Amino acid sequence: MRSKRLGAALRRYREAAKLDQQHAAEHIVGSKTKISRIEAGQVSARPGDVRLLLELYGVEDLNVHRRLEQLARDSNKRGWWLNYPSATKEEGYADFIALETDATYIRTWQPLFIPGLLQTDDYVKALMDLSLSTHSPEDLDEAVAIRRARRQTIEEDGAQYATVIWEPALTVPMPSPKIHREQLLHIENVAQRQNVSIQVLPLSDWKAVHLSSHFVMFSLGPEPAPEAVAYDTTTRTVIFEDLEEMAKHARIFEALRSAALTPEQSLTFIRNVMKGIPETEKEPEK
């Protein structure tokens, strides 16, 4: 995924400079095939080659140089998620985690579930217990471990994170009052971080909620402009990097944020929901 992102960026800058692959190849004393494979993300570019190509393409922004050269250095690093076999079972999931790990801005819309980066251990287990697939204790432990590692992405001083959650995802009773209360308490705590914005979309806003199904939008540089959008199905994670898709989802997210409660109102809403959750589990009928 990192090689693909680097290759796509280099291709865009080359095309903007109106140069062909042969011209680029000659500049780094390589072959046209090498440039083609770099731009396709099939091989990693060396940081020195990235620097030379950006100079050839007339890219003067030092932030772009630093970011793409760092991406070249990181392209062959082993991602922590590869230590977990289940991270590579679902098509696209490993690429999703790679984007999430490298992201500087993460924006997500979730009408049905608690967003992944906000899910507690017990909420993750409850979701897996309710699925139609059979999961071993080892599968559950691994899923929880992956989620814990992913949550570090938005720790203090981490990625800027903004999410809009539809009201039912927070208010509909969860498998137990304990899971429900602890999940909302976790969201309340995370919402108070400087790099996090959590907004609730009211149940009644039919128009806004139907703008789009769930999605996660990633920005990977110093600016918040989106560079990838992802959503998951029951069998795989789909990632888009088309510029039109980016612009469309950015507009949808801003519309959702405008329709939602403010972060302060949302925090009050979540606290009020917690007050209505029973303190004890319901006694089974005799």
Q: What are the extents of the domains in the chain?
A: 2-74, 82-275
Quick one: which of 62, 60, 53, 68 has its CA closest to 20? 53
Lowest mean pLDDT among 117-126, 168-177, 233-242, 262-271: 233-242
What torsion, rounded to 10 degrees, do the Cα atoms 108, 112, 114, 117 define? Answer: -40
Residue 286, pLDDT score: 44
Adjacency order of strands within the sheet including 196-201: 196-201, 160-166, 105-110, 215-219, 228-232, 237-240
Quick one: which of 224, 286, 223 has its CA closest to 250? 224
Model pTM above 0.85? no
Quick check: 278 pLDDT over 90?
no
Residue 282, pLDDT score: 55
Q: Where does the pLDDT of residue 283 fall: very low under 50, low under 70, confident under 90, or very high at 90 and above?
A: very low
Q: Average per-residue pLDDT in the chain?
A: 89
Residue 2, pLDDT score: 81
Check for a shared fold between 2-74 and 82-275: no
**Cβ contacts of residue 56 below 8 Å, gap of 6+?**
17, 19, 23, 24, 27
pLDDT tens digits for range 35-83: 999 888 888 889 899 899 999 999 998 888 888 888 888 887 778 888 8
What is the mean predicted confidence (pLDDT) over 203-211? 93
Residue 256 contacts residue 201 (beta carbons within 8 Å): yes
- Report the alpha-carbon distance of residue 76 to residue 41 in Å, rounded: 12
The amino acid at 72? A
How does DSSP classify residue 282? Answer: P
Q: Are strands 215-219 and 160-166 parallel, antiparallel or unpaired?
A: unpaired
- Report the alpha-carbon distance of residue 228 to residue 217 in Å, rounded: 6
Lowest mean pLDDT among 133-147, 178-192, 199-213, 263-277: 133-147
- Report the alpha-carbon distance of residue 14 to residue 20 in Å, rounded: 7
Which CATH number describes the domain made up of 2-74?
Answer: 1.10.260.40
What is the mean predicted confidence (pLDDT) over 187-216? 95
Residue 132, pLDDT score: 64
pLDDT tens digits for range 68-123: 888 888 887 778 888 888 777 788 888 899 899 989 999 999 999 999 999 999 99
Q: Where does the pLDDT of residue 21 fall: very low under 50, low under 70, confident under 90, or very high at 90 and above?
A: very high
Provide the 10 A C-beta neighbour count for residue 224.
Answer: 13
Residue 284, pLDDT score: 42
Residue 153 contacts residue 188 (beta carbons within 8 Å): no
Among the four given CATH numbers 3.30.870, 1.10.150, 3.30.70, 1.10.10, the one describing domain 82-275: 3.30.870
Q: Where does the pLDDT of residue 281 fall: very low under 50, low under 70, confident under 90, or very high at 90 and above?
A: low
Measured in whole angstroms, the distance separating CA 205 from the mean position of its chain's CA atoms is 25
Q: How many residues does the chain have?
A: 286
Quick check: 6 pLDDT over 80?
yes
Residue 234, pLDDT score: 72
Quick one: which of 275, 279, 273, 278 has its CA closest to 169? 273
Lowest mean pLDDT among 133-142, 186-195, 245-254: 133-142
Residue 173 contacts residue 276 (beta carbons within 8 Å): no
